[in-house]
Amino acid sequence: MRSPQGHRNGESPSPHHHNHHRPPQTHFHSTVAAKKLRRFNSLILLLRLASFSFSLASAVFMLTNSRGDGSPHWYDFDAFRFVLVANAIVAVYSVFELGASVWEISRETTVWPEAFQVWFDFGHDQAFTYMLLAGGSGAAGVARTMRGSETCAENAAFCTQTYISLGLGFASFLFLAFSSCLSGFRVASFLITGSRFHV
């Protein structure tokens, strides 16, 4: 007759005893998902930071593009005014999104309810990406026209600074477009799985 002690010390432990030390599979999956979500959000944070930096620089270069009497000014051209306003708006928007990204990484939750947050990010990314593209394209056409005229021949510094501002604005557009792709992925993931990111 096997004693209770012998049963506990036997060579064939019960399945319940064996499974007691096995790591829960769901915990493993949730840990992997959390790490992937953190990397995903960190990438968005870097793109937001780049977009902010280039849009702010573009707005500053355009705002300071005045050479005194007899020289053109940025506010003399509708297209250049639009570039300044568009990049200033994107810079302000990027500051908010940077704060939201830092909050999400540190707190592991969105600033606003998740459904509202993913649609807010995607909608504004799309709108501001189009705004930067439209403004940059229109201003580039004006800049090309100026390049073949006496304006740039007599005011080379003004035209050079204009080109720099437009180039910085285009870089901001690219980074914001990448952010828009990722925010679009978050919307699709949310609609399919009910989460911003799903493994």
Q: What is the pLDDT of residue 21?
A: 52
Say if 58 falls within a structural domain. yes
Say if 27 falls within a structural domain. no
Digit-coded pLDDT (tens) for 3-39: 455 444 544 554 444 455 545 545 544 565 677 888 8
Q: How many residues make up the chain in this entry?
A: 199
Q: What is the pLDDT of residue 28?
A: 43
Q: What is the pLDDT of residue 70?
A: 72
Say if 25 falls within a structural domain. no
Bigger pLDDT: 13 or 194?
194
SS3 letters across 30-96? HHHHHHHHHHHHHHHHHHHHHHHHHHHHHHHHHHCCECCCCCCEHHHCHHHHHHHHHHHHHHHHHHH
Q: What is the pLDDT of residue 55?
A: 98
Say if 41 falls within a structural domain. no
Say if 189 falls within a structural domain. yes
Digit-coded pLDDT (tens) for 135-148: 999 999 999 998 87
Q: What is the pLDDT of residue 32?
A: 59
Say if 97 falls within a structural domain. yes
Bigger pLDDT: 11 or 178?
178
Q: What is the pLDDT of residue 114?
A: 86
Say if 65 falls within a structural domain. yes
Q: What is the pLDDT of residue 162?
A: 95
Digit-coded pLDDT (tens) for 69-122: 678 889 999 999 999 999 999 999 999 999 999 998 888 888 888 889 999 999
How many distinct structural domains can be found in the chain? 1
- Segments forming the whole domain that contains residue 101: 47-193
